Amino acid sequence: MTMLCTVSACKKSKKYDVKKYADSSSSQEESGLSSEGTLSENEGGSASAPTGSSASQSTATGSKTSSTVGSKPNGSTDTSSDEGQEYKLPDYDLDTDYTNDFVQDGRYIKIKTFATAGEYEGYVNRLVKDGYKKYDENKIGKNLFVSLVNKKNFISVSYTAGNSKLKIISEPLGDLYPRKADNKYTSKGMQSLFTGMKNENKPIYSGMGFVIRLDDGSFIIIDGGGGDRNHKDSNRLLNILNEQKPKNSGKPVIAAWIFTHCHDDHIGVFNAFSADFHDKVVIEKFYYNFPPDLDILASAEFMFNDDYYSYNNFKDCIKNYYSKSAVIRPHSGERYYIRNAVIEMLFSYEDLFPASIADRGINDFNETSLIFKVNIGGQSLMITGDASAMGMNFASTNYGTYLKSDILQMAHHGQNGTVPFYSKVDPTYALIPISHVDKNRVNFNEANKWLVNSKNVRQFIAFWSDNVTIPLPYNPTNAEIKDRIPTEKTVYNAVNLQ
């Protein structure tokens, strides 16, 4: 029996039937349900383990739990504890012909297709009636999102109107994301900054690393870049933090380090940085939502050897160096209030459920990339990581013109992107996160052509020659924009770092 078995399915999945039990005993171990229909305390190894910590996010939760699997809060059906009994979140009044249940990574997931807003409301109300408290709610157009908690579980429920899907994910309660009321801090009135890191140590392909300085001098880091076997970019990153932190302050404070996905060209610098400088910074919270090991191991054609090495190294770094840092597993619809920034999560790979990489419903590992909007200084940045067509279609179908943003990070280093998504984002500035050695790989696909032809795009910004720092909000004069489309010689205006 493999300990990497992280996906198992409900036998009742009538509509899709995407995953079957390969090994009923391992599935039984994953189904740590107590008699109240909630996750038992040792699910995930520890009741206090952070939601989505490296251990609980991406490895099997092998701890043996209660045998009273299957009894449910509202007791609509199955109560047996037979070997191989599957776990379901309560159906309540959902039509099970269109409902798919499965277990992944010690989490319990229900997907209802052909769903309505009324079914969402009904389901959420039943959870509340059964003792769950609403932690946070959001509404984007006709899309509805809520996070609920009880003493043991965190449940994310979403209804997305464009694809008529209801998604319910239950996971062990861990670290919770910061809401508006949790965002207590003292502004130092510092200029907010965005820095795109030059990423030079991966001569084969590209890297992406962004640093956002907040108004109290703390930071949000997005990815960091790749490779870095000679640790040049880890030094580059520490230098950026030390240059931009408040003068005469202590260690740089990283309020949030967000990883779009677990490819080496996005997490490699973090690994080197952790080995070199983990004691030179304070990291408050990590945010990432990687697929389970089963999907990652099924992704050989998308995961090069470097990626496997980096992914395993990443897990070790989180565990070994940052035991005091919180780990948040993002879901769509969540908003994180981090100093003067608000991050709104718009897509995680869970929005493609019940499709998975392991069953080939998702055919590109880059589809696991988060898509989110950063609102800061009265402007917004759309971060796409390496998002591919499925994620972008989900976002453009469900959010429409809500995607409108001032600054767009071109997807997959300028190699992906769709016209529906880019035209809804309709940016004024576009970031090209590709290393100088790889810049010729920015192809002029239809989406990029759309950007180049858009009269609203004033400037493309690349990080080929050096790091580029811009103030947020970014409102350069026409004279300050030297080249709309950059060359390697393009020089960007210097920004006052203090």
Please report, as ranges, the residues that interact with Zn ion according to CB under 5 A. Answer: 265, 386
Output the smallest distance, CB 390 to Zn ion, in A. Answer: 16
Nearer to Zn ion, 265 or 438 (CB): 265
Nearer to Zn ion, 205 or 399 (CB): 205
Nearer to Zn ion, 233 or 386 (CB): 386
Output the smallest distance, CB 263 to Zn ion, in A. Answer: 5
- The residues near 116 (Cβ < 8 Å, ≥ 6 apart) are 159, 164
Nearer to Zn ion, 175 or 265 (CB): 265
Buried b (16+ CB within 10 A) or exposed e, 462-487: bbbeebbbbbbebeeeeeeeeeeebe
Measured at the CA of 260, the angle between CA 256 and CA 262, to 5 degrees, comes to 110
Nearer to Zn ion, 106 or 226 (CB): 226
CA distances from 223 to 207, 261, 268, 496 (A): 9, 8, 9, 24
Output the smallest distance, CB 438 to Zn ion, in A. Answer: 10
Output the smallest distance, CB 305 to Zn ion, in A. Answer: 16
Output the smallest distance, CB 264 to Zn ion, in A. Answer: 8
Output the smallest distance, CB 266 to Zn ion, in A. Answer: 5
Nearer to Zn ion, 216 or 386 (CB): 386
Measured at the CA of 384, the angle between CA 5 and CA 160, to 5 degrees, comes to 70
Output the smallest distance, CB 286 to Zn ion, in A. Answer: 19
Output the smallest distance, CB 265 to Zn ion, in A. Answer: 4
Nearer to Zn ion, 364 or 386 (CB): 386
- The residues near 125 (Cβ < 8 Å, ≥ 6 apart) are none
Output the smallest distance, CB 269 to Zn ion, in A. Answer: 12
Nearer to Zn ion, 175 or 386 (CB): 386
Output the smallest distance, CB 413 to Zn ion, in A. Answer: 6
Nearer to Zn ion, 279 or 301 (CB): 301
Nearer to Zn ion, 49 or 262 (CB): 262
Output the smallest distance, CB 303 to Zn ion, in A. Answer: 12
Nearer to Zn ion, 351 or 386 (CB): 386
Output the smallest distance, CB 412 to Zn ion, in A. Answer: 6
Nearer to Zn ion, 105 or 386 (CB): 386
Give the orientation angle of helix 232-244 with respect to helix 264-277, to 10 degrees.
70
